[in-house]
Each structure stands twice: as C-alpha cells, then as structure tokens.
Amino acid sequence: MSDSLSVTKEEVGLRVDVFISEHFDLTRTAAARLLCEGAATVNGKEVAKNYKLRENDIIAVDIPPIKDTETLPEDIPLSIVYEDEDIAVIDKPKGMVVHPAAGNEEGTLVNALLYHMGDRLSGIGGERRPGIVHRIDKDTSGLLVIAKNDYAHNILSEGLKFHSIDREYMALAVGNFKDDGATINKPIGRNPRDRKKMAIVADGREAITHYTVTERFDGFTLLAVKLETGRTHQIRVHLSSVGHPLVGDTVYGGGNTKFEKQNKEILGGQALHAYRLTLTHPRTGKQMTFESPLPEWFSEILEKLRK
C-alpha cells in the first residue's frame, strides 16, 4: 500500500517517525524501519527518523503487504488484570498495537499473548487475531478482554453485539462543554476523502456515545465516556464532530492548542484511557467489573492543567 500526505502548519517540527506512526497507525519502531529501508521518504528523499517536519513537506509511505508468515510469540511484558481458563483481561499500554497488520508485524499484543498463553487462545479470529474479541487503538491505553477458547469468544462477541459488555473511558477533550453530559448519536463510516480515517457519514453504521463531565479546566474538559456501540475511532470521531476533539489527537482535529504543543512528548497521541470494563463471565454467568487507574502520562497531564 502506497500513500502520501502533506505536512500541515500545525505539524511543523514533529519528528517524521512520529508523524508516520500517527497517520498510518504504526508503532514508532515500524515507522523508523520504513524510513531506514527507504520505504518512507520526505519530498522524495530518504531522511533520518528524527528529521523535523517543515510545512508542506510531502511524506510518501510504501507499506509492504502483510507477509504470509506465522505470527511469532514475543517476550513482551503484559499487565494481566485477571485470568482463568476462559478469559483474560489485559491492561494495554499506550503505543501498543493490538494485532499484526501491514507495517506492524512485531511488538503487538497478539505477539505478547502468544508468548504468555501459547495455544490457550481462541482461534475464531484467525492466525493474526487469536483471542481478540475487541480492539482499542494503538495510542489508547486500558482494558480489553481476551477469549481463551472458542466457546468464550462466541459468548463475549454476542455480549458486544447486544451491548451487555460495558466499556468506559476517561477522555480529555479540548474546549469547555456547556452541558454536564449528553449522548452523541451519529453514524460512522470510512471518510470518503481519506480511507485511513473515519467520519460522520449518512450511510455509516449506527454509533452511540454517552459522556459525563467529571472535571473542568481552563480550555479543557475531562469526561467519563461510555460506549453503546463499538465503531472504529468512535469516541475520537464523535467528540471531534461536536467541536471537542481529544487532546493530542492530531488525526481528528486535536493537538493545536499551546498546551498540547508544549506537552506533545508526554501525550504521544490522544488522551484516552479505557478505565472500566464490565462483562458477564461466559461460563459462570457472573457479572465482573475491572478497573484500571489512569496511567502516569495521563495523570501528569491532568496535574499540569490543575496548576
């Protein structure tokens, strides 16, 4: 897959590997590898991964197709919040891709799961997605449930389909909300002008997001967000559509304030954390709730805003 993007005024000064990582949903390591191999260029020339972007630079990226090779286990540390014979709940760090894809063959959650759990994962998702019931974005941190057998996978998938699995997030958005909470109900589909992005489109799939204000800052708002549906980039697209993009989310309109630019290195992407997951255990029928505290980078950003 080959594509090119032009650098906007707001992206001037960003490292080229960070730019490629954010726009093409790759890890920094994968982006750096493409630059090293000459598969990514700036204005037609090869550059180092720490090249600082200039306005109107043209970034061309040629992502090779997924190789038909076995996904290999990797000894990557995992935060396993809960585990039994049927499920595991993982607290995914920011920056980790969930499953292998073009440009992300290594270092994913799946690679780590294969190392820690071996063949004790459901096979419904195929070789590339063993155990994966649902995803969260690379730069979103927090909780997701893994199925360790096909029986559990089918039950959990039904739970997602019929909204019996609750996923709640902490989201830091740009701007001040007039209300203390609301529901956004707008259909989401592929952006017709940029197929790597999602957008509000008339013929998109139903998407419903509920949010509640939990803390207000000067120019920013911390929200508790609950998903009723689970579309790709749903929270990011919905909040952007009402004029309040996520802090640090340069893909959907964030990253433009002075505070965000000053704290770009801490943010490293959108300020979104999956902090609570509630599900019905597929075998016991018991309702279970898991929580993840805000990661250090998120807490640091909030403390800066409070000061």
Catalytic residues: 137
Note the Cα 31 to chain centre separation in Å. 16
Q: Which two tokens stand for residue 272?
A: 């979104």
Residue labelled with tokens 């972007």: 53
- Under a CB-based contact definition with an 8 Å cutoff, are residues 170 and 122 in contact? no
Looking from the CA of 11 toward its CB, the CA atoms found within 13 Å total 25
Q: Which two tokens stand for residue 270?
A: 């959108």
The helix/strand/coil state of 237 is helix
**Where does residue 265 rank: exposed (0-12), middle (13-18), buried (19+ CB within 10 A)?**
exposed
Q: Phi/psi of residue 165, each to 5°? A: -110, 120
- Under a CB-based contact definition with an 8 Å cutoff, are residues 113 and 146 in contact? yes
Nearest-angstrom CA–CA distance, 212 and 182: 7
Residue labelled with tokens 């996923």: 167
Q: Where are the alpha helices (DSSP H) in 78-168?
A: 109-117, 150-161
- Under a CB-based contact definition with an 8 Å cutoff, are residues 172 and 193 in contact? no
- Under a CB-based contact definition with an 8 Å cutoff, are residues 240 and 227 in contact? no
What is the CA angle 13-220-244, rounded to 5?
80
Name beta bridge partners: 104: 101
Strands 166-174 and 2-6: unpaired
